[in-house]
């Protein structure tokens, strides 16, 4: 049974991106819990970095994952941009552009594209602690822009399908 860390981004006094009162930390937690439920039903052993509205630093989260010997680390976020409705779509971030993490990132993006999100691709980001400090393959998924009205409509209207898509993307890459 695979042991996977699911990390809902931000939390507590760190809301992440905010748009018209909507907070990234809340979207991230709701979606993370929904994805985890599906993974658990499929025999995955899920460790949640948080299940409530609390804050832990990305470095602490990475070190927790290392300590428990997780096989994958998936962090769930919403994207944002300087100007509302400037960008649309999903993007996954990885430390290296190849290997197990990148494969899973492509798999997750492909599933989300089928729901209707624009696929902005897999991009390398080496300054993020959850990607840099984890010693297992790690993917940070930006599930649409929180300051894009169409992305939010998709997020809300097809929430369960989005959770299923991310879970399928993970399961297909295990």
Contacting range for Zn ion; rule: CB under 5 A; set: 14-22, 81-89, 107-115, 123-131? 14-22
Considering only residues 24 through 53, tell me which ones interact with Zn ion, judged by CB under 5 A: none
Please state the φ and ψ torsions of residue 46, each to the nearest 5 degrees: -105, 130
19, two tokens = 């748009």
Residue of minimal CB distance from Zn ion?
77
Contacting range for Zn ion; rule: CB under 5 A; set: 8-16, 42-50, 92-100, 108-116? 8-16
Q: Is the dihedral of CA 136, 89, 8, 166 positive or negative?
A: negative
Determine if 16 is a binding residue for Zn ion (CB under 5 A): yes
Q: Given 111, 142, 160, 161, which residue is catalytic? A: 142
Options 9, 11, 89, 169; binder of Zn ion; rule CB under 5 A:
9
Nearer to Zn ion, 50 or 77 (CB): 77
Considering only residues 76 through 105, tell me which ones interact with Zn ion, judged by CB under 5 A: 77
Nearer to Zn ion, 25 or 169 (CB): 25
Contacting range for Zn ion; rule: CB under 5 A; set: 48-56, 73-81, 104-112, 117-125? 73-81
112, two tokens = 């989300």
Neighbours of 106 (CB within 10 A): 18
CA dist list (Å): 161 to 13, 69, 168? 29, 29, 10
Determine if 133 is a binding residue for Zn ion (CB under 5 A): no
- Residues binding Zn ion: what is the number (CB under 5 A)? 3
| Residue 128 burial (C-beta neighbours within 10 Å; 0-12, 13-18, 19+) | middle
For residue 142, indicate whether it is catalytic. Answer: yes
Residues 6+ apart with CB under 8 A from 40: 46
Nearer to Zn ion, 75 or 107 (CB): 75
DSSP 97: S
Distance (Å, rounded) from C-alpha 27 to C-alpha 61? Answer: 19
The residues of the shown chain that bind Zn ion, judged by CB under 5 A, are 9, 16, 77
Active site residues: 142
């Amino acid at each position: 049974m695979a042991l996977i860390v699911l990390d809902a981004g931000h939390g507590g006094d760190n809301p992440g991106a905010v748009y018209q009162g909507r907070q990234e930390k809340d979207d991230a937690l709701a979606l993370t819990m929904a994805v985890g439920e599906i993974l658990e039903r499929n025999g995955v052993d899920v460790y949640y970095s948080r299940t409530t509205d609390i804050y832990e630093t990305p470095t602490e989260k990475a070190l927790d994952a290392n300590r428990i010997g997780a096989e994958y680390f998936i962090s769930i976020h919403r994207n944002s941009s300087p100007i509302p409705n400037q960008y649309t779509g999903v993007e996954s971030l990885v430390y290296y552009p190849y290997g197990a993490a990148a494969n899973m990132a492509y798999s997750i993006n492909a599933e989300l594209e089928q729901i209707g999100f624009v696929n902005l691709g897999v991009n390398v980001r080496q300054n993020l602690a959850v990607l840099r400090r984890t010693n297992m393959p790690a993917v940070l998924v930006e599930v649409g822009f929180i300051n894009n009205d169409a992305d939010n409509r998709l997020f809300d209207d097809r929430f369960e399908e989005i959770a299923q898509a991310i879970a399928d993307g993970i399961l297909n890459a295990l």
